[in-house]
Copies of this chain bind each other. A is one copy, B any other.
Amino acid sequence: MDQLVVTLDCPDRPGIVHAITGAIVAVGGNITELQQFSSPDTGHFFTRVAVDAQDRVALERAVVDATAGFDAHLRVDDANRPVRTLLLASKAGHAMNDLLFRRQGGELPIDVVRIMANHEVLSPMAAFYGVDFESHAVTPETKPDFEARVRQVVEDEGIELVVLARYMQILSPELCDFLAWRAINIHHSFLPGFKGANPYRQAHTRGVKLIGATAHFVTSDLDEGPIIEQNVVRVDHTMNVAKLMRKGQAQESQTLAEAVRLFAEHRVLADGDRTVIFR
């Protein structure tokens, strides 16, 4: 038996769960996990079903047929197939180190195909983890070339997920649109507080008692993308900006890794500008 994952969303109508479960029974599948949500805001229905079954293709065909009248958007995937992932990085290595270490330990179902950075400094770490690494100086002049290269890698390598692991450049609106709902960024604050640059400095100035990190999908509207995961940690008046930064890095790494895991396990669905997360 294979472990498969069905994700499906459609306008909410009675009978949809029964239709899906019928298709699963019909191919001899066994449901091991089922979550569903009907959004009162958008009138949309979402589900994620983990199924033990013989044949991915047969299950997919059965679900497609059973939900034919529901105008559904669906996917049936192998639960253990690692998601093809591209990392973008700059100089700070904590988030990237954490992702690569967890992937190596089998904790994250991703296949890190390549790392692209705008600095050389993380090259040895990439080498240690055995991941292809390329660095490019990204200036206003060369940015279009860099972004063209990102697009090319995404297309040539069949990239399903792009992770901005503290990549410190703003992507162009065109690239954001190209990567819609498949690029995850980690912002080093508890959004919507402290958007933009230097959030730790802003947090220090404001004197907050907790700082946080937010993993969200990349959109052209900076720091406004749909939120996947957030965490906070307690701070106090004695901490200067550098200390807030150090304190926050563990949150950043952990929050990003959790968001990547949720995405790679097909637990994140799009509900307008918000996410539905099936943990």
Task: Using CB atoms and an 8 Å cutoff, list the residues of chain A in contact with chain B.
Answer: 14-15, 17-18, 21-22, 24-25, 28-40, 93-94, 97, 101, 105, 107, 124, 128, 190-194, 206-210, 212, 226-232, 234, 236-238, 240, 246, 249-250, 254, 257, 271, 273-277, 279
Contacts and interface: CB of A to CB of B under 8 A. Distances in A.
Contact of A206 (B34, B105, B206, B227): B227
Contacts of A22: 18, 22
A170 to B, nearest CB: 21
Contact of A30 (B14, B31, B128): B14
B107 A246 contact: yes
Given A31-B36, A212-B210, A246-B107, A190 B193 contact: yes
A210 to B, nearest CB: 5
Contact of A25 (B15, B35, B107, B226): B15
B24 A18 contact: yes
Dominant SS at the A interface?
mixed
A229 B237 CA distance: 11
A260 to B, nearest CB: 13
A143 to B, nearest CB: 28
Nearest to A45: B31
Contacts of A276: 237
A193 B230 CA distance: 13
Nearest to A235: B230
Nearest to A251: B254
A48 B251 CA distance: 28
A64 B24 CA distance: 22
Nearest to A97: B101
